[in-house]
Structure 1
Amino acid sequence: MAVLLGIDRCSQENFSLLKGKRVGLITNHSGRDSNGRSTIDLLYNANGVKLTALFTPEHGLRGVADDAVSDAHDPITGLPIYSLYGTRLRPQPEQLLEVNVLVYDIQDIGVRFYTYISTLKYAIEAAAEAQIAFLVLDRPNPLGGQQIEGPLADADRLDFTACHPIPIRHGLTLGELATLYVRELKLPLQLDVVRLEGWKRSDYWDATNLTWINPSPNMRSLRQALLYPGIGLLEFTNLSVGRGTDTPFEWIGAPWIDARKLAAALNAASLPGVCFIPVQFQPSTRQYAGQTCSGVEIIVTHREVFRPVRTGLTIALALRQLFPEHWEPENYLRLLANQKVFQAIIQGAPKEEIFTMLEEDEQAFRERIAACLLY
């Protein structure tokens, strides 16, 4: 069964929730209906709806920027485009003077440090402060809604890449995340979610019959999105995670790695649903640009049992054990955002001990979100 997006259902209902409203739209190139029509165009041309401002997240309105994004004007609608990734990370009071409802329509990938969900939280807070309503046009979690994985972010490590104490693979849609934010922050906010139709928690993206649009420059497939919760964790260390190649997040490497040694150790760990192949590659940008890196390609063989965060943590343990003089783990904490798990990796704890830590956090989160699930 084809999935209907929040924007599809909103359009079918003739935008009744937005009639007579002055709308600020938080979106980017991924904000499209299932026929590929831009949410900007649909709202701008909707009868009785006044689109007054556009807000855009990391990577900009077209999803191609890799640095800070500047304010601009949309040449088609003439509307101001306010950047939420640059000198400011949230809508400002003066930008909301002509807005009485903020609408959010951006495709997420289900990972805590993917910053679109931080933009969602900050925008919700701004709407509550400005005493305006908030509407989420819901979209599927490409990784499904059944698997939750990873440690919770520590309360004292919350920032733009860990905006709320949630696991790395959170298993929620944006509408459910918004519900969680409002509930746990106790915000005085009118929140509405235009729900998906036809989506089940067991559905990965390829069960939706929806077209994949790269939500950011280096997220080019469902396969990469599935690997990202574990491999993305490594990218602030002195390791290439494949950025600057055709297959980011599908392999890791560095000039100092013995590829066969690493692959053998990781395969010996007997992680479910994944295997590792020794490779060499040369990134064109980012870490080790122009240098030959040795490492491993990560092959998911059975995604239903594959656990990307546990896989990423096992890779970190192997790097710590096999290449202690080369791998620099200090920045691993930046995206992991959990001091207890980080210390366990530094100390070389058995992976089973670390996995037990994860299970405690995952179960606690399942209990927290029970009242927020919409599907």
Structure 2
Amino acid sequence: MRFNIFKNTVFPIIIGFVLVMISCGNFKTTENGNALTNKGKQEIEVKNNKNSLTDALNDTTVVVGANRTALYLPLLKHKRVGVVANQTSVIFKEIALLINTPRNDASTHLVDSLLKLKVNIKKVFAPEHGFRGKADAGAQIADGIDTKTKLPIISLHGKHRKPTPEHLQDLDIVVFDIQDVGVRFYTYISTLHNIMEACAEAGIPVLILDRPNPNGHYIDGPTLKIEHQSFLGMHPIPLVHGMTIGEYAKMINGEQWLANKLQCDITVIPVKNYTHNTFYSLPIRPSPNLPNDQAIMLYPSLGLFEGTNINAGRGTEFQFQRYGAPFLNKDTMRFTYTPVANFGAKYPKHLNELCFGEDLKNETLNGVMTLKWIIKAYKNATDTSKFFNTANFTKHAGTEVLQQQIEAGLSEAEIKATWQDNLEAFKKVRAQYLLYE
């Protein structure tokens, strides 16, 4: 049974708690321990700090990799550091880990925290949506300077999607800390691949601060065909892959997916007290159009609408919790809404047009992605020629077959049956790289 990490506690709130406790002793690495490296260059051992509120008061609380500073600060000492980060790259205040507190002021940004701890950060690399996470999906993002820290920001969703040798020449190590949602076409894992490849080419190690996958409790969807590789899907994995960022990085190395079969020197700081069945409610939206748990749960299913002319809630306050279009049958699709320009969607599909569709804000899914909504929308399109943007849909699905199956009128069960052999094969490969049960 999945459970919520934010639980009310009967313990009194202790005033003056310590945010981070740093231990600089000797460390020892184990494959299933709390810090991992593929080359064994660093020796790390977990030492429970009984002065830490997290350990002393609630040893079942999920603790993200970024919070486990004692494990990775020694690796950054006297190093010139680059950080791959966005708005989700935070260290949670310990009291916020223990009780269900308001989220304002419940965390500090990783970059801000490391600077205060005298870590020599030279630059920040920003993924899709930018360093502060406010840009529209797919928007080109320019390089710049962070107004708060004055650090240079190198965009990895603009002129470059992979760091150049010049970007890396003044660095000794790169830290990667971004919250993912476990869907192949969510581009943060493509950025991870590009970071690993560039660093492998430059001989620079990568430190990955792992975070839970809110869709990590299941595997589903079509598997990408390598001929359809793009930034929306770089490797032959299912649409819902059931791995954390750290596990996926291990798979990239293990399956030799980097150019010329390079190996990146990675160290993963794992999440404490986490399993793939742990329910994890994201305290910070991972991108502008994933505002809550409902949207994140529905995203694997409704994300396929991105490759169609159907609006999936962009331009409303219920992104990925509804879908619609002006050309859906208004007699059967009786829910209506009108997309407008808003935060994260300046130009949503069918801007200022009345859309007919379905409201899914109260729908539930039990560990699966579903095709029922995209099939229903296709069957209720008054003009099916307007439905698919074929090239884009193929990139999202990872295969041209899914569109053909929907157009041919196959049922969801019939389509899903064609995925099973690939899903079973993937599960066997995935098992080699898991850090969590």
TM-score by length of 2: 0.76
Tell me the alpha carbon deviations over residues 212-267 of structure 1, each in whole angstroms, 9 at most, x when there is no partner: 111111110011011011111112311111100010111111112125525xxxxx
- The 1:30/1:173 distance shift into structure 2, 3 A limit, reads same
Secondary structure at the counterpart of residue 88 of structure 2 = coil
Residue identity matched to 2:129: H
| 2:61 is the alignment partner of 1:5 | no
Aligned mates of 1:98, 1:7 — CA distance in 2: 23
In 2: Cα distance, 1:212 partner to 1:21 partner: 31
Which position in structure 2 is the counterpart of 1:33? Answer: 91
Confirm whether residue 115 of structure 1 aligns to residue 174 of structure 2: no
Gaps of 5+ in 2: 1-59, 94-106, 342-347
Q: Superposition pairs for residues 1-375 of structure 1, below 5 Å? A: 1-9=60-68, 11-13=69-71, 15-35=73-93, 36-47=107-118, 49-66=119-136, 67-143=139-215, 145-185=216-256, 186-206=261-281, 212-259=283-330, 261=332, 278-285=334-341, 286-299=348-361, 301-305=363-367, 307-308=368-369, 311=370, 313-323=371-381, 325-326=383-384, 327-329=386-388, 330=390, 331-375=392-436
- CA distance in structure 2 between the aligned counterparts of 1:14 and 1:124, rounded to whole angstroms: 18
C-alpha separation in 1, matches of 2:72 and 2:227: 44
2:339 aligned partner, one-letter code: P
Q: Distance in 2 between matches of 1:109 and 1:14?
A: 24
Task: Give SS of 1:318's match.
Answer: helix
Q: Which amino acid aligns with 1:130?
A: A
Rounded Cα–Cα distance in structure 2 between residues aligned with 1:299 and 1:246: 11
Q: For residues 12 and 34 of structure 1, what CA distance do their matches in structure 2 show?
A: 15
Secondary structure, counterpart of 1:24 in structure 2 = strand
1:18 maps to amino acid: L
Is the 2:318–2:361 Cα contact (8 Å) retained in structure 1? no
> Match for 1:39: what amino acid?
L
Asked if 1 retains the 8 angstrom alpha-carbon contact of 2:162 and 2:194, the reply is: yes
Structure 1: distance between partners of 2:366 and 2:374: 22
The answer to whether the 8 Å contact 1:150/1:361 transfers is no
Amino acid in structure 1 at the alignment position of 2:292 = S
Task: Give ranges in structure 1 of 5+ residues lacking alignment.
Answer: 263-277
Query: Structure 1, residues 47-104: CA drift from partner, whole Å, max 9, x if none?
Result: 4x32111100111111001221111122343321100001110111001011121110
* Range moving further from structure 2, 215-224 or 180-189: 180-189
> In 2, distance between residues paired with 1:303 and 1:314?
12
**Separation in structure 2 between the aligned mates of residue 60 and residue 299 of structure 1, nearest angstrom:** 27
Give the counterpart letter for 1:54 in structure 2: V
Alpha-carbon distance between aligned partners in 1 of 2:316 and 2:228, rounded to the nearest angstrom: 31
Q: 1:301 to 1:319 in 2, by over 3 A?
A: closer
SS in 1 for 2:62: coil
SS in 2 for 1:151: strand
On the 8 A contact 1:320/1:348 being kept in 2, the answer is no
Q: Which amino acid aligns with 2:132?
A: R
User: Structure 1: which 4+ aligned runs deviate by more than 6 Å?
Assistant: none
Q: Tell me, yes or no, if the aligned pair for 1:259 and 1:296 is still in contact at 8 Å.
A: no
Asked whether the equivalents of residues 341 and 357 of structure 1 are also in contact (C-alpha less than 8 Å), the reply is no
Amino acid at match of 2:335: V
Change (3 A) 1:302 1:224: closer
2-side partners of 1:192 and 1:337: how far apart? 29
- Normalising by structure 1, we get a TM-score of 0.88
**Structure 1 range deviating more: 233-242 or 189-198:** 233-242
Aligned length: 349
- Aligned-residue offset at 1:12: 3.1
Q: In structure 1, give the amino acid aligned to 2:351.
A: A
Structure whose alpha-carbon radius of gyration is higher: 2
Q: How has the CA–CA distance of structure 1 residues 236 and 188 changed in structure 2, closer, same or farther, with 3 Å as cutoff?
A: closer
